[in-house]
Amino acid sequence: MRIDAVELREVQLPYRAPFETSFGREDTKACLLVRVQADGVEGWGEVPAGRAPLYNEETDDTAWLVLEQFLIPPLLGKPAPRPEEFARRVAHIRRHHMAKAGLEAALWDLHARREGRSLAQALGGERPVVPVGVSQGIEATIEELLERIGGYLAQGYRRIKIKIKPGWDIEPVQRIRERFGDILLQVDANSAYDLDAAGVFRALDGYGLLLIEQPLAEDDLVDHAALQAQLRTPICLDESIVHARAARAALRLGACRIVNIKQARVGGLSEAVALHDLCRAQGVPVWCGGMLETGIGRAANLALASLPNFTLPHDLSASDRYFREDLIDPPVVLNPDGTISVPKEPGLGVRIVMERVERATVRHARFPA
Of 110 and 211, which has the nearer Cβ to ligand NPQ? 211
- Contact map string, positions 2 to 21, toward ligand NPQ, x by CB under 6 A: -----------------x-x
118 binds ligand NPQ (CB under 6 A): no
Cα torsion through 28, 129, 185, 254, rounded to 10: -100
Q: CB of residue 233 vs ligand NPQ: minimum separation in angstroms?
A: 17
Q: Quick check: 267 and 83 in contact, CB under 8 A? A: no
292 contacts which partner out of Mg ion, ligand NPQ, none, CB within 5 to 8 A by kind? ligand NPQ
**Residue choice 44, 55, 168, 322 for contact with ligand NPQ (CB under 6 A):** 55
Task: Tell me how far apart the alpha carbons of residues 326 and 314 are, in angstroms, rounded to a whole number.
Answer: 19
**Residue choice 238, 240, 272, 284 for contact with ligand NPQ (CB under 6 A):** 238
262 is catalytic: yes
Q: CB of residue 42 vs ligand NPQ: minimum separation in angstroms?
A: 25
Q: CB of residue 74 vs ligand NPQ: minimum separation in angstroms?
A: 29
Of 27 and 126, which has the nearer Cβ to ligand NPQ? 27
Of 26 and 325, which has the nearer Cβ to Mg ion? 26
Among the candidate windows 192-200, 222-230, 288-296, 330-338, which touches ligand NPQ by CB under 6 A? 288-296
50 contacts which partner out of ligand NPQ, Mg ion, none, CB within 5 to 8 A by kind? ligand NPQ
- Contact map string, positions 210 to 229, toward Mg ion, x by CB under 5 A: ---x----------------
User: What single-letter amino acid sits at 6?
Assistant: V
188 binds Mg ion (CB under 5 A): yes
SS (H, E, C) the chain: CEEEEEEEEEEEEEEEEEEEECCEEEEEEEEEEEEEEECCEEEEEEECCCCCCCCCCCCHHHHHHHHHHHHCHHHCCCECCCHHHHHHHCCCCCCCHHHHHHHHHHHHHHHHHHHCCEHHHHHCCCCCEEEECEEECCCCCHHHHHHHHHHHHHHCCCEEEEECECCECHHHHHHHHHHHCCCEEEEECCCCCCHHHHHHHHHHHHHCCCCEECCCCCCCHHHHHHHHCCCCCCEEECCCCCCHHHHHHHHHHCCCCEEEECCCCCCCHHHHHHHHHHHHHCCCCEEECCCCCCHHHHHHHHHHHCCCCECCCECCCCHHHHECCCCECCCCCCCCCCEEECCCCCECCCCECHHHHHHHEEEEEEEEC
291 binds ligand NPQ (CB under 6 A): yes
Q: CB of residue 337 vs ligand NPQ: minimum separation in angstroms?
A: 22
Q: CB of residue 356 vs ligand NPQ: minimum separation in angstroms?
A: 19
Q: Among the options 29, 100, 161, 163, which is catalytic?
A: 163
**Residue choice 290, 295, 297, 347 for contact with ligand NPQ (CB under 6 A):** 290
165 is catalytic: no
297 contacts which partner out of Mg ion, ligand NPQ, none, CB within 5 to 8 A by kind? none
238 binds Mg ion (CB under 5 A): yes
Residues that bind ligand NPQ (CB under 6 A): 19, 21, 26, 50, 55, 135, 188, 190, 238, 289-292, 315
Residues that bind Mg ion (CB under 5 A): 188, 213, 238
* Catalytic site positions: 163, 262
